[in-house]
Homo-oligomer: A and B are copies of this chain.
């Protein structure tokens, strides 16, 4: 059964995404992706010319998904302060997923950061993007120093992401939300 290029590409990417995220990029062979996606090895290499390219596509895919889900949570909230806290509700939802394994970018960076400048760059861009979005929210909430407050909130988020992965509990999201609330109380004009 042959399918068109776009469909095959999506199948491969979805299989790679699940495997890379679960086991780490180095531990997953191209053959495992081939088996999971049901595509022949020849076709796989037509769609993605190397494993490095597939890793890059995987990270870009994660980035898009993450931004979409974050935006959905934020846009569902109304007041500026609630929009900021919605980011932590998003984390809470994310941590609940049974296959939650931390941040794909942090994990990939830990594996390949020294040896793959591209992965290091993508991780850095992903986090910088998050910082930009948070800064927009703190600006909208009238923070006197939006960038600084956003950085505080990022630290809480990143901490919750790794801590939740290692302790296998979604609780850090709630604690991070509480701490964020305290910081907003201290730094937002009442």
Q: Is the CB of A113 within 8 A of B127?
A: no
**Residues of chain B lying within 8 A (CB to CB) of residue A160:** 155, 159
- Which residues on the B side are within 8 Å of A182 (C-beta)? 152, 182-183, 186-187
With both beta carbons as reference points, the residue of chain B lying nearest to A151 in the complex is identified as B175
> Which residues in chain A, 93-109, are within 8 Å of chain B measured between CB atoms?
101-102, 105-109
A18-26, A36-44, A55-63, A133-141: which lies at the interface? A18-26
Alpha-carbon distance A117/B108, docked complex (angstroms)? 19
A181 to chain B, nearest CB (A): 10
Contact B109 A167 (CB under 8 A): no
Name the prevailing secondary structure of the A interface residues: helix
Q: Is the CB of B179 within 8 A of A152?
A: yes
B165 to A113, Cβ gap below 8 A? yes
A154 contacts across to B, CB distance below 8 A: 159, 163
A5 interface residue per 8 A CB criterion: no
Of the candidates A26, A27, A151, the one having the most CB atoms from chain B within 10 angstroms of its own CB is A151
A172 at the interface (CB under 8 A from B): yes
Q: Check if A72 is an interface residue, CB within 8 A of chain B.
A: no
Add 5 more A-B contacts to A101-B114, A157-B159 (CB < 8 A). Answer: A24-B111, A106-B166, A110-B110, A154-B163, A158-B163
22 A-B contacts, Cβ less than 8 Å apart?
A23-B115, A24-B112, A26-B26, A26-B111, A27-B111, A27-B115, A101-B114, A107-B111, A108-B110, A109-B165, A127-B166, A128-B167, A151-B175, A152-B175, A154-B159, A155-B156, A155-B179, A156-B179, A179-B183, A182-B183, A182-B186, A182-B187
